Amino acid sequence: MLARTPIPRHYLEFNRKHGVPYGHPVWLLIKRVPKVRGVAELGKYRLPGFAKRLAGPFAFQPNAPTRAFEYAWCREIAQLKPGMKVIDVGAGAAGFQFVLANEGVDVTSVDPLINPPGKDNWVFSVSDFETINRAFGGKVHFVNALLEEAGLPEGAFDRVFSVSVIEHIPASAIPGLMQAVQRVLRPGGRFVATIDLFLDVEPFAPAKSNKWGTNINIRELVEASGMNLVVGDKAELLGFEEFSVEKVRSKLPGLLEMNQVLTQCLVLEKV
């Protein structure tokens, strides 16, 4: 499925509670003050714990505005229960992992913390992660690796989340990632994902990629996983025969589009 507008009211309530997608209002106000904006942004990982909590768990990683839908949707569709074991893939400093951990979910964050080649717009280290983790309870287990190399036990997890991560990795790496997801999930476990659909990239435009990534063939991703698609409209997921550029364009007035980006939402289940 593609994310719709308007964003549901209970999603907006979740966003207000946790400061999705940019941090709490007080943090945004601080960043608007010219004399402190640069200092606040560059030094945010070194803020004392109380200041981090004031800023909120979503203040520490640059976020696209579509996250105002994505995080709440992932949390809702996953049907989480306290004690469930979940993995958040490629989460970096994103606040979703800390929110889930404080709701009683056993969260493992897996991320190599590697910036895109040639880019230094976001510098983030393991020690930076730990300072944020401690500020929000220290409950997230962090593994500094690709999921394929993380050494996590087979069949041990109830959910794996990937929130707008897959479109940023090379297409050649996706089969290995999806096989790793399938391996760590227990039977009946679910992979919950959002994947950007760029309107300025093929098949909507001539460009093969933009500065954020490429459009991913979701059908190939599902096939590589060996899992079943249990949530997701094939007519709105790129790569399936049912998908049509023209039909997607015709739906644009009712879709959540921000900066020429739509949000594909899907859930896969391990048999």
pLDDT at residue 114, as a whole number: 61
Amino acid occupying residue 106: D
Q: 9-269 architecture in CATH?
A: 3-Layer(aba) Sandwich (3.40)
Nearest alpha-carbon partner for 70 in 108, 14, 24, 113 = 14
Residues 13-68: pLDDT tens digits? 999 999 999 999 999 988 888 767 676 776 788 889 999 999 999 999 888 999 99
Query: How much is the pTM?
Result: 0.94
User: What ranges do the domains of the chain cover?
Assistant: 9-269
What is the structure's pLDDT at 42? 67
pLDDT of residue 249: 97
Instruction: Write the DSSP symbol of residue 57.
Output: T
pLDDT at residue 108 in the model:
98
List average pLDDT for each run of 10 residues in the chain, which is 271 residues long. 97 98 92 74 84 94 93 98 97 96 98 62 81 97 96 98 95 96 98 98 96 95 98 98 98 96 98 96
Q: How far is CA 237 from CA 34, 219, 234, 256, in A?
A: 43, 8, 5, 15
- pLDDT of res. 44: 86
Look at residues 178, 161, 182 and name the one whose alpha carbon lies nearest to residue 74: 161
User: Which residues have a Cβ under 8 Å from the Cβ of 104 and sit 6 or more positions away?
Assistant: 82, 83
Q: Pinpoint the alpha helices (H) of 5-119.
A: 9-18, 25-32, 34-42, 49-55, 67-77, 96-102
- What was the pLDDT predicted at 166? 96
Q: Which is nearest to 75 in space by CA: 17, 126, 132, 28? A: 17
* Contact (Cβ atoms closer than 8 angstroms) between residue 62 and residue 20: no
pLDDT given for residue 116 in this prediction? 47
